[in-house]
Amino acid sequence: MTDPDLPPRPKAAVMGDVADLAGVSAMTVSRVLNSPEKVRPETRDRVLQAVRALGYRPNSAARVLVTGKSGVLGVVSIDTTLYGPASTLYAIERAAREHDYLVSIASLSALNRRSIEEGVERLRQQSVDGIIIIAPHESATEGLRHLPPDLPVVDVGGGEDVHVPATAVDQRAGAVRATRHLLSLGHRTVWHISGPPNWIDASGRIDGWRAVLAAEGREIPVPLVGDWSAHSGYELGKRLPLEVTAIFAGNDQMAMGLFRALRESGRRVPEDVSVVGFDDMPEAAYFWPPLTTVRQNFGEVGRHAFALLRDRISGRESERRRLVEPELVVRESTARYPAE
Amino acid sequence: MTDPDLPPRPKAAVMGDVADLAGVSAMTVSRVLNSPEKVRPETRDRVLQAVRALGYRPNSAARVLVTGKSGVLGVVSIDTTLYGPASTLYAIERAAREHDYLVSIASLSALNRRSIEEGVERLRQQSVDGIIIIAPHESATEGLRHLPPDLPVVDVGGGEDVHVPATAVDQRAGAVRATRHLLSLGHRTVWHISGPPNWIDASGRIDGWRAVLAAEGREIPVPLVGDWSAHSGYELGKRLPLEVTAIFAGNDQMAMGLFRALRESGRRVPEDVSVVGFDDMPEAAYFWPPLTTVRQNFGEVGRHAFALLRDRISGRESERRRLVEPELVVRESTARYPAE
DNA sequence: CATTCGCTTGACAGCGCTGTGAAACGTCTC
DNA sequence: GAGACGTTTCACAGCGCTGTCAAGCGAATG
């Protein structure tokens, strides 16, 4: 950091100042900073010394202006307060940092095509080198269709028909595992509390769940539609028919609300009803009872997203779509039925 | 968005192109974009039309180069996956968006002075107009001392002796309310499961809790030190002496882990033990039992932080430090003792 | 000893935008 | 009809950096 008790400070040093002090031309200073191997060691040291002496800090705007690369990437995301997006964003930021990229964020003001386009536009105006979109919602797929073709974009958690490189957790596979697990415990069928309509992961989970039930010839109950919140899990839980013995909740929060509803109606988990969640948020192991759930590796998703974007930016070819396998974590909210 | 099926596209239009098409000089185009009132309406319309026709998008780098303002602000934050930082960040981003600022993030790789300085430096290199620091940790206070003096910085949730404008939730007041609430229910004293050492909010909560007990002449138990996680709440809960009847947990997650430990040892909440949390995360109302807790309004904190930074950037004077009042939310995890 | 070669360095232009001062153009006044 | 004035527009310079191409230099070659 610069010395705090320096005199009034004339002005931040620029490349020319460094050049003068080192007795070289500006171009040489630029070279020292960008491709040091092209400068003779002694010159380089002299320049570096001048840089330190003046506390010189390259002006990124000037560099961007001439190179056209900003070293900044944008993330357009829905509510970054949600566990999934927050974790993904965090992983992206870490990966970006390792490769000397900075991350700018634009959160969505609404879930529609316009809002996505707006976010992209906002980032684009700040000349980001590329954009990652975290918006697992139908409307995003819509918005993605109308992107400027020259901008590297990577989609996270979107639908299958997205025409940009994409990565996501395999929601369907997760739902399949959850449902199979419940059936294997002896349950006749499995109910589902789903995420809200038009959310990609919500439909993926419904698909997987339904497919297993169909394949096994089980009765397929109507899914109860929640909004990801514990509150909705609670409300839907209160309306659950008495004969239900197994429930696959669309995420951990809804499972939590569900727990409370079941308890209030005198049903025990897992003795009377088994519950599986989705996400494996850090708290899931401390639910009562500890929640059996499907773990999504958001860290990996974030890292992939960044890697894909990097490939796109540098013009490299890369996979079109990369799925991350979810993992069933069995804890104590599921049990054999009927109990032995 | 630009038309996707345009021919190979010669090159993005620049201001000169717009000027030519509109039959004016570049300066006039610039004026239309920045201070439209200084341009005669007819000219303005002609320019605007040319802008649209060419899909012209101003080059921010060039603008930043000459004006020195980037319209980007940086946020240096600890783990943005935690509820508090995530919520604050989100609120900042929303406030920023409303005022046409973009937000870049730099998360901390470690909790120490170096790491903060690194984050600040990374953002500074991208010429952000100002920085908000979310790092409620002693080490941040350290790092804040060594900031470049010319950079507008606002601190969130830091200590009281920070010399930059700051905003925070009044942790002490929250702890006081939580502790008083428990005492008012008849509990002899209140135990505390605290956040980890050197976290500003952890110490604020300890202070408030201890102050109330001292003022009331109650026994002051040794605080049990956790790490904010449900896991630590659980582990500490297992070691809780039998005579404990009231606990003030440093956050909701630890309260959750604590619930499980209490339950496993056969103690009922709230009949045998009352528990108060801190944060009021959205799930707190669906704990079993629903958690009495102290609500922190992170949205307000984020908005204040942005407002303070804006004042600093524009050279306006503003408050030195602005506290947000927390609110006690009484639910069902606390009860009279002994029960009536 | 003159010539060539490879490495290192420098001068200059230009990236796209905005601030400055001055010119151009009415409009109004005497 | 000339002068004064306010408004609108323009030409030019320059923000700080990097790419290009040419010059400088010592070493190696014939």
Tens of pLDDT, residues B21-54:
999 989 999 999 998 888 888 889 999 999 999 9
Residue A7's pLDDT is: 39
Residue A286 lies in a domain: yes
Q: Does B253 touch chain A (CB under 8 A)?
A: yes
**Mean pLDDT (whole number) for B248-255:** 98
Q: Which pLDDT band, with edges at 50, 70 and 90, does B203 fall under?
A: very high
The answer to whether residue A10 scores a pLDDT higher than 80 is: no
The answer to whether residue A3 scores a pLDDT higher than 50 is: no
The answer to whether residue B318 scores a pLDDT higher than 90 is: no
The reply to whether B65 has its C-beta less than 7 Å from any atom of strand C is: yes
Residue A1's pLDDT is: 40
The answer to whether residue A25 scores a pLDDT higher than 80 is: yes
The answer to whether residue B322 scores a pLDDT higher than 60 is: yes
Claim to verify: residue B305 and residue B192 sit in the same structural domain: no
The answer to whether residue A11 scores a pLDDT higher than 80 is: no
Residue B158 lies in a domain: yes
Cα–Cα–Cα angle for B36, B40, B41, rounded to 5 degrees? 80
The answer to whether residues A101 and A123 touch, using CB atoms and an 8 Å cutoff, is: no
Residue A127 lies in a domain: yes
Q: Does A116 touch chain B (CB under 8 A)?
A: no
Q: How far from B4 is each of A163, A199, B219, CA to CA, in Å?
A: 13, 27, 72
Size of interface A-B (CB pairs under 8 A): 164
**Mean pLDDT (whole number) for A200-218:** 97
Tens of pLDDT, residues A243-296:
999 999 999 999 999 999 999 999 999 999 999 999 999 999 999 999 999 999
Choose among A1, A4, A229: nearest Cβ to B117. Answer: A1
Q: Number of C-alpha atoms within 13 angstroms, CB side, residue A85?
A: 24
Claim to verify: residue B289 and residue B316 sit in the same structural domain: no
Q: Which of residues 178-237 of A touch B (CB under 8 A)?
A: 229-231, 233-234
Residue A143's pLDDT is: 84
Tens of pLDDT, residues A118-170:
999 999 999 999 999 999 999 888 888 888 878 899 999 988 888 899 999 99
> How far is residue A131's CA from residue A149's CA, in Å, rounded to a whole number?
12
Residue B38's pLDDT is: 87
More confident residue, A104 or B11: A104
C chain positions with any atom within 7 Å of a protein CB:
7-12, 14-20
Residue A6 lies in a domain: no
Q: Does A36 touch chain B (CB under 8 A)?
A: no
CA distance B239 to chain A (A): 17
Claim to verify: residue B48 and residue B138 sit in the same structural domain: no
Residues of chain B found within 8 Å of residue A127, distances taken between Cβ atoms: 59-61
Q: Does A297 touch chain B (CB under 8 A)?
A: no
Residue A92 lies in a domain: yes
The reply to whether B26 has its C-beta less than 7 Å from any atom of strand C is: yes
| Cross-chain Cβ contact A61/B97 below 8 Å | no
Residues of chain B found within 8 Å of residue A51, distances taken between Cβ atoms: none
The answer to whether residue B200 scores a pLDDT higher than 60 is: yes
More confident residue, B147 or A187: A187
Q: Which pLDDT band, with edges at 50, 70 and 90, does B159 fall under?
A: confident
Q: Does B109 touch chain A (CB under 8 A)?
A: yes
| Diameter of chain A measured on Cα atoms | 87
Cα–Cα–Cα angle for B111, B116, B121, rounded to 5 degrees? 155
Tens of pLDDT, residues A187-196:
999 999 999 9
CA of B21 to C1' of D6 (A): 28
Residues of chain B found within 8 Å of residue A87, distances taken between Cβ atoms: 81
CA of A36 to C1' of D22 (A): 21
Q: Does A156 touch chain B (CB under 8 A)?
A: no
Residue A149's pLDDT is: 79
Claim to verify: residue B237 and residue B320 sit in the same structural domain: no
Q: Which pLDDT band, with edges at 50, 70 and 90, does A8 fall under?
A: very low
Counting the structural domains of chain B, the total is: 3
Claim to verify: residue A111 and residue A249 sit in the same structural domain: no
Tens of pLDDT, residues B265-281:
999 999 999 999 999 99
Rounding to the nearest 10 degrees, give the CA dihedral for residues B200, B206, B211, B213.
170
> How far is residue A275's CA from residue A291's CA, in Å, rounded to a whole number?
7
The answer to whether residue B209 scores a pLDDT higher than 80 is: yes
> Residue A235 sits in which domain range?
171-297
The reply to whether A43 has its C-beta less than 7 Å from any atom of strand C is: yes
The answer to whether residue B7 scores a pLDDT higher than 50 is: no
The answer to whether residue A177 scores a pLDDT higher than 90 is: yes
Claim to verify: residue A183 and residue A227 sit in the same structural domain: yes
Summary mean pLDDT of chain A: 92
> How far is residue B169's CA from residue B167's CA, in Å, rounded to a whole number?
7
How many angstroms separate the first and last alpha carbons of chain A? 68
Cα–Cα–Cα angle for A168, A312, B60, rounded to 5 degrees? 110
Residues of chain A found within 8 Å of residue B72, distances taken between Cβ atoms: 104, 126
Claim to verify: residue A77 and residue A219 sit in the same structural domain: no
Q: What Rg, from alpha-carbon coordinates, does chain B have?
A: 26
The answer to whether residue A299 scores a pLDDT higher than 80 is: yes
Residue A132 DSSP symbol: E
Residue A153's pLDDT is: 94
Contacts of A118 (CB under 8 A, 6+ apart): A106, A109
Q: Does A132 touch chain B (CB under 8 A)?
A: no
The answer to whether residues B246 and B337 touch, using CB atoms and an 8 Å cutoff, is: yes
Choose among B126, B147, B148: nearest Cβ to A102. Answer: B126
Residue B160's pLDDT is: 84
D chain positions with any atom within 7 Å of a protein CB:
7-12, 14-20
B65-69, B148-152, B275-279 — which is least confidently predicted? B148-152
Residue B2's pLDDT is: 38
Claim to verify: residue A275 and residue A136 sit in the same structural domain: no
A8 φ, ψ (degrees, to nearest 5):
-25, -15
Claim to verify: residue A82 and residue A147 sit in the same structural domain: yes
Tens of pLDDT, residues B87-141:
999 999 999 999 999 999 999 988 888 999 999 999 999 999 999 999 999 988 8
Residue B176 lies in a domain: yes
Q: Which of residues 299-328 of B touch A (CB under 8 A)?
A: none
Residue A333 lies in a domain: no
Residue B281's pLDDT is: 95
Residue B10's pLDDT is: 60
CA of A28 to C1' of C11 (A): 12
Q: Which pLDDT band, with edges at 50, 70 and 90, does A178 fall under?
A: very high
Q: Residue A176 CB: number of other CB atoms within 10 A?
A: 21
Summary mean pLDDT of chain B: 92
The fraction of chain B above a pLDDT of 70, given in percent, is 97
The answer to whether residue B252 scores a pLDDT higher than 90 is: yes
Chain A residues 297-316, Cβ below 7 A from strand D: none
The fraction of chain B above a pLDDT of 90, given in percent, is 81
Residue B158's pLDDT is: 86
Tens of pLDDT, residues B210-246:
999 999 999 999 999 999 999 999 999 999 999 999 9
Residue A5's pLDDT is: 36
Residue A26's pLDDT is: 92
Residue B79 lies in a domain: yes
Residue A2's pLDDT is: 38
The reply to whether A65 has its C-beta less than 7 Å from any atom of strand D is: yes
**Mean pLDDT (whole number) for B283-298:** 96
Residue A144's pLDDT is: 86
Q: Does A97 touch chain B (CB under 8 A)?
A: yes
Give the relative orientation of helices A15-22 and A26-34 as an angle to the nearest 10 degrees: 100
The answer to whether residue B340 scores a pLDDT higher than 80 is: no
Residue A137's pLDDT is: 92
CATH code (residue A93): 3.40.50.2300
The answer to whether residues B210 and A263 touch, using CB atoms and an 8 Å cutoff, is: no
Claim to verify: residue A112 and residue A176 sit in the same structural domain: no
| Residue lying closest to nucleotide C16, CA to C1' | B62
The answer to whether residue B317 scores a pLDDT higher than 80 is: no
B206 φ, ψ (degrees, to nearest 5):
-60, -45
> How far is residue A227's CA from residue A253's CA, in Å, rounded to a whole number?
10
CA of A269 to C1' of D12 (A): 79
CATH code (residue B39): 1.10.260.40
| Cross-chain Cβ contact B256/A104 below 8 Å | no
Q: Which pLDDT band, with edges at 50, 70 and 90, does B5 fall under?
A: very low
Claim to verify: residue A176 and residue A293 sit in the same structural domain: yes
Claim to verify: residue B162 and residue B208 sit in the same structural domain: no
Amino acid identity for residue A208 in this structure: G
What element of type H or E holds B296?
Answer: none
